[in-house]
Structure 1
């Protein structure tokens, strides 16, 4: 099973949050997860929900500040293993587009 989650951790401050957000992302490296950071948050993949919760807690605690805002959304599909990349490919397929990273004109769509 693969659990896919979206995590956003940020201190409630004025100015740039980049250095504090970097601490949250770095905390994920201590867990058996893969992740991709985007401008609005980080997509995390793990074998189980417990790992996602533990990684999210560590990311939350890594951020300094009087107030920290954390958003965690989890997709725990228990009947089938589906990765984040496969979810994106499915949407792109419905749009008639090649999967992300695919080379135009290649026989396998990549």
Structure 2
């Protein structure tokens, strides 16, 4: 895959955002993207930027709120194919370990 992105879609509400965020994540199923949800956003991967943008737009529209905040950060490396796992593996090689820490 050649396009990697971080997507965060959140309703601007006082109650739990989880039900609306779940709608946004579920909307990704209709697109040719792979994704992994994290506590701070969802990592998207697609072969084409158009598919990634369509998926992000659908996720944004899936949230039912008077106000929706969406953040999309795209890494479109055009000189070669890469994926999110390769990015993490490169950091692991430099660290000599997994890039994780445990909270005390």
- State the TM-score, normalized to the length of structure 1: 0.87
Taking the aligned partners of 1:20 and 1:98, their CA distance within structure 2 comes to 32
Residue equivalent to 1:68? 68
1:11–1:67 contact (8 Å) kept in structure 2: yes
Q: Gaps spanning 5+ residues in structure 1: where? A: 101-110
Aligned residues: 100
Aligned pairs for 1:11-90 (under 5 A) are: 11-90=11-90
1:98/1:12 Cα in 2 relative to 1: closer, same or farther (>3 Å)?
Answer: closer
Taking the aligned partners of 1:60 and 1:40, their CA distance within structure 2 comes to 16
Q: CA deviation at 1:98?
A: 5.3
Taking the aligned partners of 2:52 and 2:76, their CA distance within structure 1 comes to 10
Residue equivalent to 1:10? 10
RMSD after superposition: 1.4
Counterpart of 1:58 in 2: which secondary structure?
helix
Which protein is bigger by CA-based radius of gyration?
1
Counterpart of 2:36 in 1: which secondary structure?
strand
- Please identify runs of 4+ aligned residues in structure 1 that moved more than 4 A: none
Q: Whose relative contact order is higher, 1 or 2, with alpha carbons under 8 Å and at least 6 apart?
A: 2
Taking the aligned partners of 1:98 and 1:20, their CA distance within structure 2 comes to 32
